Structure 1
Amino acid sequence: MAAPAALLAGLAQAPGLIDRGPLWSRWLFEQPWPLIAAVVAASAAIAWRRNARGRGASAAVVMAAGVACAGAAYVTSRVVQTERESLVARTRALVDAVVGADAAALRATLGRSVALRLGAAAGIAGGLGGAAVEPERLVEQVTAQMSGPYRLIEHRTRWARADTDARRAPGAVRADGLSQVRVWADPAQSRVPVSSTWLLTWERLPGRSGQERWALRGIELQSLDAFSTGW
């Protein structure tokens, strides 16, 4: 009984979060609201001071320029999709494909082989540490389990983040990008809510349309919490 206890204890620890890239890049392209708020607030403050000094026309110009810059920042964030946003979307889609036992979507996501690391968070010798699995075998296992004993009544992706500047990966798996996702699930069989955190390793492969696609190369279970409301 010592090994399962150690496994649960290790998996219950909160995992370290991967880097999400430079702050300026996220504020400009992915999460513009802090930048928009700062620009509007600064413009309003300058306009108020100028208006108080009797320079109403100049104040109006400053305020209009601030609003225009804020609008440009918002439009830019909507038009430009960064690699991180693309990988986060790919990660969320993978979660939905696994939960829905969607074999076609899984095949379109997996790479040439997938390295599994389950139980590594507990540091237990003999656990699944980087075992390579053929894509078709993994699809068969996932669809069989998620439509049978591990079927979920409900699930939520609490958060997902990505690092496309990463070149490190668990084991010897080559990484063009890493993503991390926190999932809350309500299993149909046990009805014990569970939250889990996963680290996913990705590589870029040629797609059918000539554009590169993100392909999954590695899966690592980082934490597992039973009776969880999620975080």
Structure 2
Amino acid sequence: MNDTTQGVHRKSLGLTLKNNRDLILHSLMCSLGGFLGGYAVLCRGNLASAQTLNMIDIVLDMVGRNKYELFLRILALFLYIMGIELVEILSKKTQINLQRYSICVDMAGLLVLIMIPKEANVLVGVLPIFFILSTQWSVFHGVRGYNSATIFSTNNLRQTVLAINEYAFGRDRKELKKALYYINTLFWFNINIAFSYFAVKYFGIYASLFGFIYTVPALVITFMKDEKAKANISIEPYKEKIVC
């Protein structure tokens, strides 16, 4: 392969990456969601991605079980709500880049997790994850017009099945594209659950640091997107002059 051909391939790869930055970022956050879900279950025996089980346990604790656990579960619910609420407040009251904010929350949480002793109460061990993932869910919930969470899989699985069925019966290319999008989402989520198994097996609670594999490139992409936005803004006045 000569230098010219290599240069063409590099340019083609660069263009592909630029055109798919949103999908790459989405896939990275799905990867982190799957990894942290696996980490929480393997290290602490609790899934901290959603509130369904936690709220069931709150009700059960209210009718006669462990009062200390009730307190911790209410605290977990509060942290989950606060993650959502802070994103809403920041979106309405500030100009902060919410994607960057969410990724920074992820990074801080990954560090906090290694500070919680292995012997700590299992709920205490996942409290940061409740806040991390509710924040992530509020910010990263799909791209390209598709609604897809990056922290759990139920709706993504449903949408995959529906899209495959629609394509099978109607041969609509849009449904095939939709199915491939959701398959991609499920793939990155679940492959990183598998990765979390080996990370936790060999590194224990310190496995959370592997989360930086996803957050660092994700953060870089948010700056790349900002540069693109700035470039568009700088070109706009010239477009107006040409029109006039």
User: Structure 1 length normalisation: TM-score?
Assistant: 0.25
Q: Which protein has greater RCO, CA pairs closer than 8 Å, 6+ apart?
A: 2
- Which one has the bigger helix percentage? 2
> Whose Rg is larger?
1
TM-score, length of structure 2 as denominator length = 0.24
